[in-house]
């Protein structure tokens, strides 16, 4: 199941990037200079209704593939076998961390003229 998930996830990411690129390549219906000054195409609500070009058809097809891979990923993720832990914190409770030994303490200086012995601890 891991290989199928990886393949579907890879296709999902690539299709998502392709949809973004195709949407950015297309220009809006009211993007012409004439539309800003009351051109004929801007008179209707959504611009002129014409046949879809290659970019819009490709965007629709890739959006359908993106939708299908989204459904596939959710199906695969929901059918994964559950571990005994319900959260990451519950899973980490069983992990033991080895104790780190304390660093050796440096002996205090044994200077007879030192006033360090007079300081209360």
119 has pLDDT over 60: yes
State the pLDDT at residue 34: 60
- Has this prediction a pTM greater than 0.85? no
96 has pLDDT over 70: yes
Residue 108 phi/psi, 5-degree rounding, is -70, 150
Q: What one-character DSSP code corresponds to residue 119?
A: S
74 has pLDDT over 80: yes
DSSP string, 40-95: GGGGSTTS------HHHHHHHHHHHHHHHHHHHHHHHHHTSPPPS-SSHHHHHTT-
Contacts of 34 (CB under 8 A, 6+ apart): 40, 41, 42
Residue of 81 and 78 predicted with greater confidence? 78
CB 41 within 8 A of CB 35: yes
State the pLDDT at residue 83: 62
Q: What length does the chain have?
A: 121
What is the average per-residue pLDDT within 80-94?
70
- Output the CA torsion 34→40→42→47 (10° steps): -120
Residue of 111 and 26 predicted with greater confidence? 26
């Amino acid at each position: 199941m891991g290989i199928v998930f990886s393949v579907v996830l890879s296709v999902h990411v690539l299709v998502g990037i392709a949809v973004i690129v195709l949407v950015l390549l297309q220009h809006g219906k009211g993007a012409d200079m004439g539309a800003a000054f009351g051109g004929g195409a801007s008179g209707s609500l959504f611009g002129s209704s014409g046949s879809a070009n290659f970019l819009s058809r490709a965007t629709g097809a890739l959006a359908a593939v993106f939708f299908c891979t989204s459904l596939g990923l959710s199906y695969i993720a929901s059918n994964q076998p559950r571990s005994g832990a319900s959260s990451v914190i519950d899973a980490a409770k069983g992990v033991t961390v080895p104790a780190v030994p304390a660093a050796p303490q440096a002996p205090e200086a044994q200077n007879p003229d030192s006033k360090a012995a007079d300081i209360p601890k």
